[in-house]
Structures are given as C-alpha cells and as structure tokens.
Structure 1
Amino acid sequence: MKSLKMKLIYRKHKKAILGTLGAVLLAGLVFFFSYFHVTKVEVMGTSRYTDEQVKEMALQGAFTDNSVLAVLLHSRVDVEGVPFVEGFYITRLSHNSICISVREKKAVGCIPYLDSYIYFDRNGIFIESSHTRDELVPFFDGIEVSHVIEGEKLPIKGSSVLTTAVALSTIFQKNDAIPDHIEFDTSYQITLTYGDIRVMLGKDEYLEDKMTRVSAILPKLSGKKGILHLENVNDNSKTITFEQDLGEDGVIEDVDTAVAYENAVANWHGGYDLEGDYTGEGEYDQNGNYVGSRPTEESIAANGSWLGGYMEDGSYTGYGQLDKDGNYVGPNPNETSEDGSEEELEDYSEDYSEDYNNSGYDGYDEEY
C-alpha cells in the first residue's frame, strides 16, 4: 500500500517537473523567436540588384526571420540561377538585424555569341550568359570565339585582344565612361561609340592617356555628331581632331549673332592702351598683352558661321582659333592673316582645310 502511494506521488512529481520543463522550454522558444526576430536587413556588395531583390533571393525558406537561424541556414557559397552572383553571406549585426553580403561575379566585358551575350572575367573565363545585355558591362564587338563552355576560358582569336579588353574595361570603370559599343576591326584597331560620337583610338597604345582625353572632351561634344580621332596620340604628338557630321545640307546651323556677341564681349579682356591706361577701346589687357579690338555686333556678324576668336585660356581676341568651348575651329575663313604669316597659313590649309571644310573637322589642343 505504501509502495503504491509512493508511486502515485512520484508520478505527480514527474508530471509537475515535465510540465515545468515544458513551460520553461516553451517560454525559452517564445523568447528565442521573439528576441531574435529580424526587423532590419541590410544589403551590401551589389550594384546590380536592389535591396528588395537580394532579400527575396537570399531569404527563402524557413526561419529567415530569425537572426540566429538565418545565419546558420541561409548563407550559401554556391548560388545557381541568379545571374552574376556567386553567393550570399549572412551575418548577424544585432539580436534583431542581419546583413546580406553579395559576392558577385566580376564581369569585365561581354561579347555577342549566337543569340546571346557572353560575359567574361579578367582572366577570360566565361562566367555568365544572357539574352539581354547589361549596360553596366562593356560590350565588345569583333572578338571572335569558335565555341564557349561556361567556367572555361574563352578561345579568343588574337593573343593580345583579351589583355586589351581587360585594360579598356578597367579604364572605363575608372573614368566612369563606359561606351555604348567597343569594336575591334580585323587589324584590332579600336573604335568606341558614345551616342552619336565615334571615338577612333587606333592601336592598343597609350590607352590610358587617350581615354583621359576622351573623358575631358566628350562633354564638349554634347549634341554633336561625328568622329573623334585619337589614333595619332603618342609621347610626341597630342593631335586630336573631331570630324563633325554636318548633316544632309552640309552646313553648320546658323549662328545666333546676338549670343555670339555677348559671349565675345564677356570674354574680351581689353580696353587698355599701350601706356597701361584704361580707355575702354584699347586693344591691350591690364598686363599689356594684345587682345585685339573690342568686339562689335558688326565684327561678329562678319564672321558668318565661324565660331572662333578665342584663345586657350578662354579669352576672346578675335583671331584665336578656338570657340568658346575650347574646340578648334581654325582661322577665320572670312579674313586674311594680318601678321603676314601667309606661308604658315597656306601650309596649314594644305593639311587640314579641305577636311575641315568638307567634313567639319574640329581639333583639340594639347591641354587635354
């Protein structure tokens, strides 16, 4: 009898203990899931996807809203089916916040192949393919491959083409000037396309120097159409010319005389005479430099469609061969040289005037 009574007491105590343990465990689980409930998610390491897109791709399945379990269960080294992503790494920032770090595949360029775009890294490894083009990755045309296998090096014809492509891609990223199109011709001459401007870089030489100048010049060509020539840029020559497309009528748009006059007056620094006294009509600046006579509406109108008269420092003299934006436009075709340098002008015209008159050449000085 006594033994039976002890057994009943033991069972009651056991139930009480188990009930207590269950309550403690339940309370612990409630605390665990409530205290470590994720309320904030940070994303880093990608410029290709939005934060919301990364969250949807990385946080799939159970326990993604728990800062402890999400780290343990959802960090993935190898990701399949997500273009340009190698893996997601999740770290806990605090009890209720996590950070998703995206490890992207670094594509330096893409080439057309059949009906797709093939993306490759700096080692020439085929890392991704897509039917749509990513505008953030330089697009190369003229790089030929016989076949492609993902994860293997592209069999690119021309041993130096890959090196050139990687160098160009690095420069584009550095200068934040990714062209719409990069083309290698059969002799591996390089041509870039920026909207309506084609940039002829020539051979794989002085690319850094050439692209630095391109970055400086392109803003000045806004709204224009034509070809920028940098094939001859080297250590000894910085000759850059712009072959402007003048359109079907073959002429530059009419010059707004009033605006041209205002610009000329604003940039004319004269008014001083030879003695250094200011007269308002003197043809010297305050430093005694000859800057030409004060521009008038008549003198500007007499220039016709010629937009020059400016010097390298942006000042207006009336005889400078640059326009107000620093573009080379040549000597004034409406007047003869006043300093008697007829031979020099004749030699210059023989080399360039035909191209400029017929094709619309502008040139750029060495300052670029």
Structure 2
Amino acid sequence: MKLFKKNLIDKKHKKMIFCTLGAVLLAGLVFFFSYFHVSKVEVMGTARYSDEEVKSMALQGAFTDNSVLAVLLHSRVDVEDVPFVEGFNITRLSHNSICISVREKKAVGCIPYLDSYVYFDRNGIFIESSHTRDELVPFFDGIQVSHVIQGEKLPIKGSSVLTTAVALSTIFQKNDVIPDHIEFDSSYQITLTYGDVQVMLGKDEYLEDKMIRVSAILPKLSGEKGILHMENVTDSSKLITFEREVDEEDTTTSIDTTSAYENAIANWHGGYDEEGDYTGEGEYDANMNYVGPKPTEESIAANGDWLGGYMEDGSYTGYGQLDKDGNYVGPNPNDTSDEEDYTEESNWDDQEEDDYEE
C-alpha cells in the first residue's frame, strides 16, 4: 500500500515537473519569437531595386521574420532569376533589425546585340541581357561580336577595345559623367554623346586627362549644340575647340581656344583674395577691384565663338563686353548668371554701355 502511494506521488511530481518545464519552454519560445521579431529591415548595395523589391526577393524562406533564425538559416541567399543580382547576404543589426546586402553583378558596359542589350563585366564576361537599357551603365556602339553566350567572354573584335571600354567606364563612374552614347568608329576613334553635344575624344590616349576637362566644360555647354574637340589634348598640348551649330543648315564655327586662353590669362590681373592676400586664384586685383575668376582652358572653351570678356583698359575679367581688340561683342550668351551681378562689380555704368550700343 505504501509502495503504491509512493509511486502515485512520484507520477504527480513528474507530471508537475513536465508541466513546469513545458510552461517555461513555451514562455521562452514566446519571448524568443517576440523579442527577436524583425520590425526593421535595412537594404544596402543597390540603386537598381527599391527596398521593398529587395525584401520580397530576399526574405522568402522560413523564419525570416526572426533576427536570429534569419541569419542562421539564410545568411547567404543565391538567386538566378533576378537581373543583375547574384544574391543577398543577411546580417543582424539588433534584436529586432536586420540588414540585407545585395550582391550585384558589376556591369561596366553594354552593347547592342540583335534586339537586346548585352551587359558585360570588366573581364568582358557576358553577365546579363535585357530588352531595355539601364541608363546607369555606359552604352557602347561599334563593339562588334559574332555571338554571345551568357557566362562566357564576349568575342570582341579588336584586342584593345575591351581595355578601353573598361577604362572609360571607370572614369565615367568616378566623374559621374555617363554619356548617352559611346561610339567606336572603324579605326577605334572614340565619340561620346551628351544630349546635343558630341565629344570627340580621338584615340585611346590621355583619356583621364581628357575626361577631367570634359566634366568641367559640359555644364557650361548646357543648351548648346555642337562638337567638342578633345582629340588634340596630350601631356604637352591642351588644344580644345568647340564647334557650335549656328543655324538650321548645321553651319558650324570653330574657335581655337589655345590662343584665346593665352590672351585671357596674360591680361587677367587677379589672384588676390578678399583680404588682399595673393593666392594666385583670388578674384580681385592688387587694388581690390573685382576682376572675375581666373580663366581656364575649360572656361574659354565653354565660351564657344564668343571672344569677349575684356574691359576698356584691355584687362580680362570674363564678363567684359569687349574683345581683346576693343570691339564691342555684347554679354556672354553662354553665361546663365545674373548680368546685374557682373555689372555691379565691374565698374561699368549705364552710360558706358549706352555708348557701346550706339
């Protein structure tokens, strides 16, 4: 009888212990899934897809709403059917937040092939194709291929073309000046198109130096139509000319900026800052008269066929309405700033302007 009662008590104790353990385990699970429930997701590594698109593509497996289990089970997600994406990495930021890092296929350029755009990486490997063009990737025309196989190197004609394309793409990304169109002609001369402005780079020489100057000149050619010649830029020559279309018949005019720049810099008397200290770049002369910024080859080239910028005394300010020979040529038609600012700081009075107009 005593043995029976003892066994009964032991069973009750065991049952209580199991119930207690079950309750503790359940409470732990509730705490675990509530405390580590993901309420914030950060996305990084792509400008191609929105955060919501990335979340829907990366967080598809089980327990992706738990910051601990999502990292344990899905820290690396590989995909095959998402354009330009190799996969995703998931990391935990805090108890309720995770970060999705997008591993993108790095396309450096695209070329036309049949009715599609073929994208390639810096090694010339065909990584993606699309019927629509990605404006963030440089588009190269004139690069010819006989066939394409995804995952394999493009059979590009011309041994140096790929090297040039990769170099240009790197420069474009660095200077944030991706052109609308890049063309290689039959002799591999390079032409860039930015809206209505064509930039003739010439051969694959001094590309970085040329593009630094292009990025400085292009903003000053806004609204213009013509050809910017950079073919003659070398380490010893900085000859830049801009052919502006002046009528509907596409008549153009060409200005040699080299001599124009030499005249301007020789007659610019600035270099002093507002404190009267000489810096070489200041916009005041020794008498603290405002004489405009120091002329550069880029600023002269951006003037096109306007040869003004000179004052009555022959000094160059950039806003004077005379040419170097003292002929009135009017205000700079390429200047988008307020003319009153120039007038106020240049000691020109209304009477003098009226005399020139007469």
Q: Same fold (TM over 0.5)?
A: yes
- The whole-number CA distance in structure 2 between the counterparts of 1:3 and 1:113 is 90
- Kindly report which structure 2 residues correspond to 1:332-343, keeping only aligned pairs within 5 A, or say none: none
Q: Does 1:136 align with 2:126?
A: no
Helix, strand or coil at the partner of 2:322: strand
Partner of residue 318, structure 1 = 322
- The whole-number CA distance in structure 1 between the counterparts of 2:203 and 2:251 is 32
Shift of residue 319, structure 1, vs aligned partner: 2.1
Summarize the Cα distance change of 1:250–1:83 in structure 2 as closer, same or farther, 3 Å threshold. closer
- The farther-off stretch of 174-183 and 238-247 is 238-247
Q: Percent identity?
A: 79
- The whole-number CA distance in structure 1 between the counterparts of 2:247 and 2:32 is 72
Partner of residue 151, structure 1 = 151
Summarize the Cα distance change of 1:286–1:167 in structure 2 as closer, same or farther, 3 Å threshold. closer
Amino acid at match of 1:101: S
Partner of residue 180, structure 2 = 180
Partner of residue 81, structure 1 = 81
Partner of residue 72, structure 2 = 72
Partner of residue 333, structure 1 = none
Amino acid at match of 1:176: D
Task: Please tell me whether Structure 1 or Structure 2 has the larger radius of gyration of its CA atoms.
Answer: 1
- The whole-number CA distance in structure 2 between the counterparts of 1:114 and 1:319 is 53
Summarize the Cα distance change of 1:249–1:167 in structure 2 as closer, same or farther, 3 Å threshold. closer
- The whole-number CA distance in structure 1 between the counterparts of 2:152 and 2:199 is 32
* Contact 1:64–1:70 under 8 Å retained in 2: yes
- The whole-number CA distance in structure 1 between the counterparts of 2:9 and 2:105 is 67
Q: Deviations over 1:289-346 (max 9, x none)?
A: xx9xxxxxxxxxxxxxx8532156415262238973789xxxxxxxxxxxxxxxxxxx
- The whole-number CA distance in structure 2 between the counterparts of 1:114 and 1:123 is 22
* Contact 1:309–1:319 under 8 Å retained in 2: yes
Q: Deviations over 1:242-296 (max 9, x none)?
A: 12222326789xxxxxxxxxxxxxxx99xxxxxxxxxxxxxxx987xxx9xxxxx
Amino acid at match of 2:144: E
Partner of residue 237, structure 1 = 237
- Kindly report which structure 2 residues correspond to 1:24-35, keeping only aligned pairs within 5 A, or say none: 24-35=24-35
Higher relative contact order (CA 8 A, sep 6+): 1
Amino acid at match of 1:314: G
Partner of residue 206, structure 1 = 206
- The whole-number CA distance in structure 2 between the counterparts of 1:171 and 1:177 is 8
Q: Deviations over 1:185-209 (max 9, x none)?
A: 1111111110111111111111111
- The whole-number CA distance in structure 2 between the counterparts of 1:250 and 1:61 is 61
Partner of residue 55, structure 1 = 55
* Contact 2:116–2:130 under 8 Å retained in 1: yes
Q: Does 1:125 align with 2:125?
A: yes
Summarize the Cα distance change of 1:20–1:234 in structure 2 as closer, same or farther, 3 Å threshold. same
Q: How many residues align?
A: 281
* Contact 2:308–2:324 under 8 Å retained in 1: yes
* Contact 1:226–1:244 under 8 Å retained in 2: yes
Amino acid at match of 1:320: K
* Contact 1:71–1:90 under 8 Å retained in 2: yes
- The whole-number CA distance in structure 2 between the counterparts of 1:81 and 1:21 is 46
- RMSD after superposition: 2.8
Partner of residue 307, structure 2 = 308
Amino acid at match of 1:45: G
- The whole-number CA distance in structure 1 between the counterparts of 2:193 and 2:132 is 19
- The farther-off stretch of 77-86 and 205-214 is 77-86
Shift of residue 104, structure 1, vs aligned partner: 1.4
- The whole-number CA distance in structure 2 between the counterparts of 1:229 and 1:27 is 75
Summarize the Cα distance change of 1:250–1:174 in structure 2 as closer, same or farther, 3 Å threshold. closer
Helix, strand or coil at the partner of 1:68: helix
Helix, strand or coil at the partner of 1:166: helix
- The whole-number CA distance in structure 1 between the counterparts of 2:202 and 2:180 is 18
- The whole-number CA distance in structure 2 between the counterparts of 1:248 and 1:326 is 19
Summarize the Cα distance change of 1:194–1:250 in structure 2 as closer, same or farther, 3 Å threshold. closer
Normalising to structure 2: TM-score of the pair?
Answer: 0.72
Q: Does 1:248 align with 2:248?
A: yes
* Contact 1:46–1:104 under 8 Å retained in 2: yes
Partner of residue 193, structure 2 = 193
Helix, strand or coil at the partner of 1:228: strand
Shift of residue 217, structure 1, vs aligned partner: 1.1
- Unaligned 5+ segments in structure 1 are 253-267, 270-284, 292-305, 328-368
* Contact 1:196–1:226 under 8 Å retained in 2: yes
* Contact 1:220–1:325 under 8 Å retained in 2: no
Normalising to structure 1: TM-score of the pair?
Answer: 0.70
Summarize the Cα distance change of 1:145–1:307 in structure 2 as closer, same or farther, 3 Å threshold. closer
Q: Deviations over 1:114-137 (max 9, x none)?
A: 111111111111111111111000
- Kindly report which structure 2 residues correspond to 1:4-23, keeping only aligned pairs within 5 A, or say none: 4-23=4-23
* Contact 1:197–1:225 under 8 Å retained in 2: yes
Shift of residue 10, structure 1, vs aligned partner: 2.8
Amino acid at match of 1:27: A
* Contact 1:314–1:326 under 8 Å retained in 2: no
- The whole-number CA distance in structure 2 between the counterparts of 1:171 and 1:31 is 53
* Contact 1:41–1:98 under 8 Å retained in 2: yes
Amino acid at match of 2:152: E
